[in-house]
């Protein structure tokens, strides 16, 4: 069993996409980076939908070829049924010549973590970080519990920078007391599980048997219903189905009652019930997460950075989770590299990184939740980001927002940013995607 070193340049907490990505970036630059991951990989994780934006980050990481060789399902876009309206979006119409993907997260995350190792990162699974002591601002001390062997051992490691990529456990935000729940009139939670033998929705707007995946590529299927909204994402051998529901709807339910509620909902909701009619829920696959949306009031410091879900989680409806992870890893890697070169400017680099990441999270919250100037959303930063985004990318965001009746958020932001005139003509002419009845 390999020994955990006593010192490194950068310590990364968590080996998910955010953690493995920043470890790869840093290792590629010859930086001594250690990753401590509490779980044994591969491990199950929700978030199986990737939009084409991710390829630019996989190219930077040098992992695109490995992803392509894995044979994940390609998707051309998405279909929503929202408040009785059916919409379809095709990525190719917005300048994307590479597909989105439906991925098994256990395989995908293992691939990214292995890639970081092949680039020189040192990774230890089943090692749980317990505390970070910042009393020494130059060399913080990381206290951990090593659970790899027959006996549990305590240890410590010193580093110059700590990167928290611990996901929903938000390790540093909890330690520092900076984690805040999003304040909203209507709070949500998520319940999800996996089915076998489900039918799926294809790009032709028809439902198909699993045996037809090679002939009829799938789309991500999302729909609203009386208690919230639902996702249906077909994978190679199973299908991910999740409910986002109002918190009050399941208040007081225990684990078994939530399972009954989940199965009953899936069986009664139109379209979804038809897709799942021949399917069976995989025993033990149902999971539950009450902390649906949150953010941190401080995600960067002179010697630490919180990235991915360790910094904030907004709303899975726009597949922002993995996008945030890849984006955060890229900008944070740049800040850390420059800080290691010039320690005297590390406060400045962390401030710049904080602004960039809060800008990205703020845009997601404003678009998804309608938060303008609350829940940590800086209106000025968000409007600046809108001005800098490519036109086709903004068009795709607008269409996605229209598909889920959230376009008023985009429109308000675009008007405040002074760019709405670029979109108003298209929007007024019915620029909301192709609307067609599904053939189930």
Sequence length of the chain is: 440
**Separation CA 306–CA 327 (nearest Å):** 12
Q: Which residue carries 């053939």 as its tokens?
A: 439
Instruction: Delimit the domains of the chain by residue range.
Output: 7-48+104-180+295-355, 188-289
Going from the first residue of the chain to its last (440 residues), give the mean pLDDT of each consecutive group of 10, the final group possibly shorter: 94 98 98 97 90 94 98 92 84 88 97 98 98 96 95 95 96 95 74 97 93 93 91 96 89 91 95 96 92 85 96 73 91 98 96 91 74 73 83 77 73 84 58 54
Q: Residue 276 contacts by C-beta under 8 Å, 6 or more apart in sequence?
A: 195, 198, 199, 241, 266, 267
Protein fold of 188-289: D-Amino Acid Oxidase; Chain A, domain 2 (3.30.9)
Phi-psi region of 396 (alpha: psi -120 to 50; beta: other; left: phi over 0): alpha
The pLDDT of residue 369: 66
Residues 163/165/170/174 CA torsion (nearest 10 deg): -10
Separation between Cα atoms, residue 76 and residue 99, nearest integer Å: 6
Its pTM surpasses 0.75: yes
Residues 6+ apart with CB under 8 A from 189: 244, 245, 247, 250, 288, 289, 290, 291, 292
Residue whose entry in the numeric block shows the structure tokens 């019930």: 273
Report strand pairing: 304-306 vs 153-164: parallel
Residue that is written with structure tokens 């938000």 in the block: 170
Q: How much is the pLDDT for 149?
A: 87
Q: What is the DSSP string of 210-278?
A: GGGTTTS-B-EEEEEETTEEEEEEE-SS-EEEEEEEEGGGGTT--HHHHHHHHHHHHHHSTTHHHHHTT
pLDDT at 171: 97
Whole-number pLDDT of residue 319: 67
| Residue-by-residue DSSP string for 103-134 | --HHHHHHHHHHHHHHTT-EEEESEEEEEEE-
- Of 17, 6, 41, whose CA–CA distance to 126 is shortest? 41
Distance CA 296, CA 311 (A): 6
61, 21 in Cβ contact below 8 A?
A: yes
Q: Report the top-level CATH class of 7-48+104-180+295-355.
A: alpha beta
């Amino acid at each position: 069993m390999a020994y955990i070193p006593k010192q490194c340049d950068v310590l990364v907490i968590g080996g998910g996409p955010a953690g493995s990505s920043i470890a790869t970036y840093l290792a590629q630059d010859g930086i001594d980076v250690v990753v401590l991951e509490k779980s044994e990989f591969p491990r199950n994780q929700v978030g199986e939908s990737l939009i084409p934006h991710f390829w630019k980050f996989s190219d930077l990481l040098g992992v695109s070829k490995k992803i392509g060789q894995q044979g994940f399902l390609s998707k051309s876009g998405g279909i929503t049924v929202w408040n009785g309206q059916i919409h379809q979006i095709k990525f190719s119409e917005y300048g994307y010549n590479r597909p989105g993907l439906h991925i098994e997260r256990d395989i995908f995350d293992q691939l990214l973590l292995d890639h970081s190792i092949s680039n020189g990162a040192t990774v230890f699974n089943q090692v749980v970080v317990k505390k970070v002591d910042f009393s020494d601002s130059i060399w913080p001390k990381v206290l951990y519990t090593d659970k790899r062997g027959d006996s549990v051992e305590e240890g410590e490691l010193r580093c110059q920078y700590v990167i928290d990529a611990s996901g929903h456990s938000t390790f540093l935000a909890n330690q520092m007391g900076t984690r805040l729940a999003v304040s909203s009139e209507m709070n949500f939670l998520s319940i999800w599980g996996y089915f076998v033998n489900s039918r799926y929705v294809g790009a032709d707007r028809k439902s198909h048997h699993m045996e037809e995946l090679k002939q009829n590529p799938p789309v991500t299927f999302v729909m609203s219903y009386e208690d919230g909204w639902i996702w249906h994402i077909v994978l190679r051998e199973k299908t991910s189905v999740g409910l986002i529901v109002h918190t009050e709807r399941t208040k007081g339910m225990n684990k078994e009652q939530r399972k009954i509620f989940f199965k009953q909902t899936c069986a009664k909701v139109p379209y979804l019930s038809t897709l799942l009619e021949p399917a069976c829920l995989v025993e033990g696959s149902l999971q539950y997460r009450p902390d649906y949306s949150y953010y941190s009031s401080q995600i960067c410091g002179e010697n630490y950075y919180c990235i991915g879900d360790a910094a904030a989680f907004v709303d899975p409806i726009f597949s922002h989770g993995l996008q945030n992870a890849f984006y955060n890893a890229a900008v944070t890697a740049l800040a850390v590299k420059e800080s290691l070169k010039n320690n005297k400017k590390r406060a400045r680099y962390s401030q710049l990184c904080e602004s960039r990441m809060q800008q990205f999270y703020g845009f997601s919250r404003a678009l998804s939740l309608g938060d303008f100037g609350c829940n940590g959303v800086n209106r000025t930063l968000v409007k600046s980001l809108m001005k800098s985004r490519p036109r086709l990318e903004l068009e795709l965001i607008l269409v996605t927002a229209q598909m889920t009746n959230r376009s008023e958020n985009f429109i308000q932001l675009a008007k405040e940013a002074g760019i709405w005139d670029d979109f108003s003509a298209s929007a007024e002419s019915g620029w909301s995607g192709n609307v067609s009845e599904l053939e189930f």
